[in-house]
């Protein structure tokens, strides 16, 4: 890059790894927002999952931009929706089992939003979508999976990590793989290239 490194407003190890492997110089500056309160408010207002993901990403970017108004800020958020039902991260193993039971045998969507701020204003945004079709799982299968993965998947919406053992839960995944991981990376890189901050 020909400027100060991008600020990633996230503590996500997956997002950090994606940017690092793509050769994007960045600094990780995690921010705190009350995601549950914002999500619940938007759901109550009838917002769709795509809009919720986008709004949460913008809240995070704005918080980081307030602290670093002269820097380029990237923030992202991911929403899991089964039709109009929005899932959150499982607080307990019992929650995780319940989420997997609900998702079993069905197709849900992951919406991964990215928002970029420059000069403390939003200048670019994108929402990537992936369709995730899960095998019909028995209760013993769910319990065996959680025996192997809990509590490491407690920070994963849907109680799975598709880049790990969680991929075995799925019969089909359609859409951008990077969006499955939590960041529409190709679109982010294309924007940075258009700005002249990245070369092929």
- Structural domain spans, the chain: 6-195
Q: Which of 40, 70, 77, 85 is catalytic?
A: 77
Average pLDDT in the chain: 95
Tens-digit pLDDT profile for residues 37-90: 999 999 999 999 999 999 999 999 999 999 999 999 999 999 999 998 999 999
List residues bridging with 107 in a β-sheet: 133
Nearest to 154 by CA among 144, 165, 146: 146
Can 36 be counted among the known catalytic residues?
Answer: no
Tokens of residue 89, six digits: 């991260």
Out of 3.90.950.10, 2.60.40.1180, 3.30.70.20, 3.30.1330.40, select the CATH number for domain 6-195: 3.90.950.10
The pTM of this model reads: 0.93
Q: What pLDDT sits at residue 3?
A: 60
CA 70 to chain centre: 25
Q: What is the mean pLDDT of residues 11-30?
A: 95
List residues bridging with 116 in a β-sheet: 74, 124
Enumerate residues 6+ apart whose C-beta is below 8 A from 168.
145
């Amino acid at each position: 890059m020909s400027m100060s490194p991008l600020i990633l407003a996230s503590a996500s190890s997956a997002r950090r790894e994606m940017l690092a492997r793509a050769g994007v110089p960045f600094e990780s500056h995690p921010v705190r927002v009350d995601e549950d309160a914002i999500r619940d408010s938007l759901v109550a207002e009838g917002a769709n999952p795509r809009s919720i993901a986008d709004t949460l990403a913008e809240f995070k970017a704005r918080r980081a931009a307030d602290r670093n108004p002269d820097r380029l800020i990237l923030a992202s958020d991911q929403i899991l929706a089964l039709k109009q039902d929005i899932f959150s991260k499982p607080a307990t193993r019992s929650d995780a089992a319940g989420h997997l039971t609900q998702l079993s045998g069905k197709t849900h969507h992951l919406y991964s939003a990215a928002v970029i701020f420059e000069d403390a204003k939003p200048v670019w945004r994108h929402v990537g979508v992936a369709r995730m079709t899960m095998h019909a799982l028995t209760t013993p299968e769910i319990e065996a999976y959680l025996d192997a993965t809990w509590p490491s998947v407690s920070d994963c919406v849907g109680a799975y990590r598709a880049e790990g053992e969680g991929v075995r839960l799925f019969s089909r995944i359609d859409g951008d793989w990077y969006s499955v991981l939590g960041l529409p990376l190709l679109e982010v890189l294309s924007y940075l290239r258009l700005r002249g901050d990245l070369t092929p």
